[in-house]
Amino acid sequence: MKKYTVLIYMLIYTSTKAQFTPVEMMIGDKYLHYQHSFHRKFNTTSKFGWTHIATIMRQYLIKPEKGGRPNEIMNQVYLTTQLSNKFMLLGGLFFTPATDMKISFAGQYLYRTKKLLLIVNPRFDMGEKFTYELFGLAEIRPAITNDLHLYSRFQFMTNHSTNGHNRSYQQLRLGLETKKVQLGLGTTLDQYGLALTSTSNTGIFIRKIL
């Protein structure tokens, strides 16, 4: 557990130097879940920059004979080109222990208002097995008072190869936000492999916009 704590600390420390960095941790009934996503321009006027995305799932039970699953870690790092306020191109590297390192390309559509955030992100990886993925996020933050917002988010990812389904998830979050800190209840539905083996993880999340 100590090495995961150190890794999370390093990721948070690095991400504090980036622009609009959501960092989230959820203590669930099946696993501890950490994720962040941040983007930084090379300078304030440049359309070029870089992005880092990370996810860590620390399972409480990892023995398959007892129904456990292995721990998971995912890292993505990209060079980015901002085509407009809503569209961005990304090219870089994608890593998980299951897939190893792969060259990855993606596009991103982003729409943002004070109350609403929408992201759609198609991606594909180059390698011995060609894989393609679709990521989406919808976030709603209506104001309750000047300093308090209702926070809700639906986030999904589905990944496939020429052989069929690899990995998918759907995340739901509902809570309150104040001073760029969000706290509430969350659940994640996970699907694995061709058989779409399903598990769930429900717990309390805390999220901070750095």
Higher-pLDDT residue of 98 and 49 is 49
Q: Is the pLDDT of residue 9 over 60?
A: no
Assign 62 a pLDDT band (cuts: 50, 70, 90).
confident
Q: Is the pLDDT of residue 18 over 70?
A: no
Q: Is the pLDDT of residue 143 over 50?
A: yes
Assign 19 a pLDDT band (cuts: 50, 70, 90).
low
Dihedral sign of CA atoms 88, 50, 39, 165 in order: positive
Q: Given 3-state DSSP classes, what are the helix, strand and coil percentages for the chain, each rounded to the nearest 5?
A: 10, 65, 25
Kindly report which listed range (8-22, 32-46, 71-85, 107-121) carries the lowest average pLDDT score. Answer: 8-22
* Separation of alpha carbons 41 and 194, rounded Å: 39
Q: Are 127 and 102 in contact (CB under 8 A)?
A: yes
CATH label, 2-209, candidates 1.10.10.10, 3.30.565.10, 3.40.228.10, 2.40.160.40: 2.40.160.40
* Separation of alpha carbons 116 and 169, rounded Å: 22
Q: Quick one: pLDDT at residue 178?
A: 97
Q: Are 184 and 173 in contact (CB under 8 A)?
A: yes
* Separation of alpha carbons 198 and 203, rounded Å: 17
Higher-pLDDT residue of 91 and 3 is 91
* Separation of alpha carbons 206 and 185, rounded Å: 9
* Separation of alpha carbons 24 and 8, rounded Å: 11
Nearest to 31 by CA among 172, 189, 194: 189
Q: Is the pLDDT of residue 140 over 90?
A: yes
- Give me the mean pLDDT over the 65-76 stretch: 86
Q: Quick one: pLDDT at residue 99?
A: 83
Assign 74 a pLDDT band (cuts: 50, 70, 90).
very high
* Separation of alpha carbons 80 and 82, rounded Å: 7
Beta bridge partners of 78: 51, 92
Residue 43 backbone zone (phi > 0: left; psi -120 to 50: alpha; other: beta) = beta
